[in-house]
Amino acid sequence: MSKNFAEVSRLIVDAIGGVSNVASVTHCMTRLRFVLNDESLVDAARLKAITGVMGVVRNEQQCQVIIGNNVSHAYAEVLKLLPEGAAGASAGPAKQKITLKRIGAGILDALIGTMSPLIPAIIGGSMVKLLAMILDMTGVFGKGASTLVILNTIGDGAFFFLPVMVAASAAVKFKTNMSLAIAIAGILVHPAFIDLMAKAAQGQKVEFIGISVTAVKYTYTVIPALCMTWLLSYIEKWVDRITPVVTKNFLKPMLIMLIAAPIAIMLIGPLGIWIGTGISAVVYTVHRYLGWLSVAIMGAAWPLLVMTGMHRVFTPTIIQTIAETGKEGMVMPSEIGANLSLGGSSLAVAWRTKNPELRQTALAAAASAIIAGISEPALYGVALRLKRPLIACLISGFICGGVAGLGGLASHSMASPGLFTSVQFFDPSNPMSIVWVFGVMILAIVISFFTTLLLGFEDIPVETPQAKEHKATDATASTPFAVSQSAVKTQ
């Protein structure tokens, strides 16, 4: 990635149609996510040609520009170019005809747009909980020691109050009042309400104005708060229209709370839980019937899911499963082979390429995938760019996913699998799990490395100074960037 983030960001904004075409922008761990006013103004060829851009993913809702681990620096520079208030907003383009495809894309965009900003807190909490588990296993502190209790509380905070975090993030996405969204989500995790739901679960009758309230546990959940905040965005607009101007300061928020909170408690909350439970049931029914084969299929499909951004769809399912059972044994184990395979394939490219710039990119991408489990630099900067290494990764991901499934590996958190986060797969009751984890990781690197060398790849020729000057000129021009170059096949 170029260190001149200001210049790269300026070129990106120009290529997507300029400042006036940006309705909003957010970022996740590796991508800038633009919502545009007019998709037709995007110059895709010019955008992909910018040095520092690893790839571009486009759909009806967003234009996603893959930057890599330095995305936060590029995001900061993009914000300097945009008018105040563009960050995180979700104004989007004008209303279009409603179709099933657009509804599906909208749901996916809402889920990904809401969950992506929360991933750092979720990963941070997961790793703290794993640290507490290791300290407990090694006997550094006695059983029930206050230090372990505090560490577990620190790690569990992001999960216990996940509905509140989801509400805050969704409020930004749906452009509704964040404080009201947080207040309503806070009701769902209030100690008195939790106690009331526990009594309802035991058969005690719980009613609100004569209407029975379904017993639901909302801590560690995503879908209820997300649905609630989406509905809140409409309730707020409706209440704003019917309240007199002189009463808006007190009557408007009171009416919103009195309307939205009961609907959340009696309708949206239970419905969201049923939706989340249904999705989880489908995923793990497949796992129950196919066993290790389902993990193998997921291991092969994972890079393709990441390419489309659909991998974030599994986040609520993983969180809910870990909260209910303490571990997740399908999606997370499949990621071990997928991530490490991308790292091994990148190492093979670095070994064989004659292009110094590509070698540097491949080595950095391999380190990111293998050590930290962040695979997008390897996916976009190497595998997808050269194509055949991606095939090698899919083959390796399938094999290693199957091995992980046969070994019965399961994750106790949802940090992206890599060398530093492999501890999440350690099972205190099964010491052999350590052997299985490292066996799968080594196997993924070895298989993908040699498969990539066997398949070969079209190496990228080294650019001459004249070609670089021509590229720089074209990147700033108004016409799409295009350079004709012959490929050199490496076997």
Residues labelled as active-site residues: 28
Q: Using only C-alpha atoms, what is the Rg of the chain?
A: 24
Question: Considering only CA atoms, which of 146, 222, 138 is closest in space to residue 185?
Answer: 222
For residue 125, which amino acid is it? G
For 101, counting Cβ atoms within 10 Å of its Cβ (0-12 exposed, 13-18 middle, 19+ buried), the class is exposed
Question: Considering only CA atoms, which of 194, 187, 195 is closest in space to residue 232?
Answer: 187
CB contact at 8 A, 462 and 356: yes
Rounded CA separation 248/263 (Å): 22
Strands 63-66, 31-36: pairing kind: antiparallel
CB contact at 8 A, 410 and 425: yes
Rounded CA separation 32/79 (Å): 11
DSSP annotation of 84: T
Q: In the block, which residue shows the tokens 């489309």?
A: 308
Distances (CA, A) of 145 to 45, 127, 426: 58, 19, 22
- Cβ-proximal residues to 247 (8 Å cutoff; 6+ apart), any chain: none
Written as one string, the DSSP assignment of 4-23 is -HHHHHHHHHHHTT-GGGEE
Greatest C-alpha distance within the chain: 79
Token couple for 123: 């990963």
